[in-house]
A = this chain, B = another copy of it.
Amino acid sequence: MAEPSSKKQRTQPPYELLYHPGVPGRGEPIRLLLEAAGVPYNDIANQEKNGYDTVQKICMNKALESDNGNPPVFSPPALRVPGAGKDGKALVISQTPNILSYLGDRTGMAGDEQEKYWVAQLALTALDLANEVHDSHHPIAVAKYYEEQKEESKGKSKDIRENRFPKFFSYFQRTLQGNKERGGVEGKYMVGKQLTYADTTIWQVLDGCMFAFPKEMEARKEEFPDLLQGFYESVKSEKGLKEYLASDRRLEYSMGIFRQYPELDRQ
């Protein structure tokens, strides 16, 4: 787990999350890692006045750099770390799995030198599933409305629910079940003996799926009890996460990656 934060860190958050305001979205796995590690951060668009201007300026410009001499950002989220860049400037990095890897190494949320690659592969796979779920309501064009691709969304959602969910859930559940053999704690953690960002990221994607496809996920609970009941409930009550999930920092799902369209759920 994370080292206890110093007083300086508490008053001057070293990590700045740059993401769209008002939705959990692709920023949420990053928030969960930091909350579980007990590391303070500044969620710029949600916490600062005119914060979204800053996010747009750094992450959504058309320039040759994002900020402080760092390369451009393709799209939010990005992480800015004042003082961590060249010549004492800020470091700006992007892409959720990359940010998780950077923070994982610095907060004790990535396991040991070997486990970190297992943690990374699990988080990457969970984020792949999140991408597929996004495409369940946008299979044809990201920039068009759902209503313009509603029929195609039904076909895509059916495939995700019937073929992709069992494949992903089987993989996560088998990893969980095999963790004890690898010297870890079975049932609670995917890798090793303590919480890593593999757990928090998988948990977030499962939680999003429960919001988007409540009927489908309810039906799957009996099929994957270790994952969708044991693990899911256990992660939710981890120190740091329990407090966060009850706080108003935890944003509600709305029109982001995870959307609840009853016509796309199991009928």
Contacts and interface: CB of A to CB of B under 8 A. Distances in A.
Interface string A149-180: 10010011001000110011011001101110
Contacts of A143: 159, 163
Contacts of A131: 131
A169 to B, nearest CB: 11
B71 A178 contact: yes
B118 A139 contact: no
A42 to B, nearest CB: 19
B177 A64 contact: yes
A262 interface: no
A69 interface: yes
A124 interface: yes
Give the size category of A's interface with B: 35 or more
A93 interface: yes
A93 B118 contact: yes
Contacts of A91: 114, 117
Interface string A122-145: 101100000100010001111110
A152 B175 contact: no
Interface string A72-115: 10100000000011100001011101100110000000000010
Interface of A: 62-65, 69-72, 74, 84-86, 91, 93-95, 97-98, 101-102, 114, 117-118, 120-122, 124-125, 131, 135, 139-144, 149, 152, 155-156, 159, 163-164, 167-168, 170-171, 174-175, 177-179, 181-183, 190-191
B139 A152 contact: yes
A100 to B, nearest CB: 11
Contact of A174 (B72, B140, B144): B72
Given A97-B97, A101-B117, 12 more contacts: A62-B174, A63-B178, A64-B174, A72-B178, A74-B167, A84-B114, A91-B114, A95-B120, A98-B120, A131-B131, A141-B156, A144-B159
